[in-house]
Structure 1
Amino acid sequence: MNLTHDIVAAFAPTGRLRASINTGNPILAAPDPSTGSARGVSVDLAHAFAERLGVALELVVFDTAGKSVDAVTGEQADIGFFAIDPKRGEGIRFTAPYVLIEGCYAVRADSPVTSMDEVDRSGVQVVVGRGSAYDLYLTRELKHAGIVRATSSPAVVEHFLAHGGDVAAGVRQQLEADAARLGGLRLLPGRFMVIRQAMGCPRGRGDDAARCLAEFVEEMKASGFVAAALQRHGITGAAVAPAGA
């Protein structure tokens, strides 16, 4: 990685690397119970990249993916950690993914719905987290079912149970944790999408900056850094993405 003065300046125009962190996806980051500060795989990657650039790190923390995307798109942050999506790509240059996770469905234990093939039907209401990767994906893909948007991804199951709906959509780990905590739910077999989590920077930062970030992600995967971070933070069910995926 050839870190020229121009590349460092592109990533840190304020003299600090502002990293947009989404704590709404527990695979990426979550508040530390003891300190309240964000911790997780994305935070570890942000620290490593700031160290590589030789600049101080400033975490800009949000509770939803949508807010995190807006911060990078609006250049209020210099890098971020997102699921790759063509709509988001209008304002963000993505690397290849560093982690792959599953988007799944949950239903009430007594629901007549038993398979994913039964979800996209007229009259079925699917609850999603507003602005999440699976919200964007299902908005494009569902042709018959309706979509109900909760305020955030972590709020999906509680909104689903409190306000109705037929299916809750989300990251597998979040749905499994909510099912264990709240009871009365079951996950449908399989997955409706593979969510490709990547790093990204504002499109205006230029080709050299985007290439540098892409090379960093490939190095972090190949070196075992991402795998070690997943293990350190106790993340199960997420896979390190293949090289160049």
Structure 2
Amino acid sequence: MQHYREHIGADDFRTFPRQLDGKARSRHHAEYAGWHRSACWNGRRFDRFPEYIVRAQSLDDVAHSIDFARAHGLSVSVRGSGHSYAGCFLRDAGLLLDLSALDRIEIDAEAGTASVQPGVGARRLSAALAPHGLAFPTGHGGEVGLSGFLLGGGLGINFRAWGDISAFSVRAVDLIDADGACCAPAPNNTRSCSGPRAAAGRGCFSPRSASTCNAGRCRPASPRARIAANWRASAS
């Protein structure tokens, strides 16, 4: 994506939100300040202000937002659940793409997998897996989003008991690239993108639209885990 800045007319921005299932707010909108304050889970205030905030309600919203940003030379930052102590997703100028409303969970109990969208948090995933006798080593807080947690490697609860860090249990990832195109897993379990887009690393822009993870059978809690659970229950 080119990072040059073009003037964005009022008509351009009036047209853009009409393409969305969700909502978009510019810095000049009355609701912008409230959206900005509530973006970070810990209530910290940051003096970094995106020019636009988009609260996506669908994958089409993600694609439309990327197209709008590309057409006007805006950089894009992505918010999953907002569980970043430093509010890393807040950037001056540009467009903040909020994916927290994309929170669908699909469980395949027979295959032992869970497909989750980026807004899904640890508590909701655990609750969805439990009736099937399944579990996944999530983050240490119930509101920690799976998107950022897995991108950071996934040092989750009891991850050593499950064999390794949680990211190693990711079976497939659906991405939307900088051209606004969806890259879904191919049958051979690789991305169906070719060329440079198939690579990932520093400078790679690809919002994650869904992750499919292996879920394991529930195991008896260790004595240390039971003590910690009892302590949390008594503290609440």
Q: Which has the larger radius of gyration?
A: 2
In terms of fraction of residues, the more strand-rich structure is: 1
TM-score (norm 1): 0.30
What is the TM-score of this pair, normalised by structure 2?
0.31
State the structure with bigger RCO (CA 8 A, min sep 6), 1 or 2: 1
Higher helix share: 1
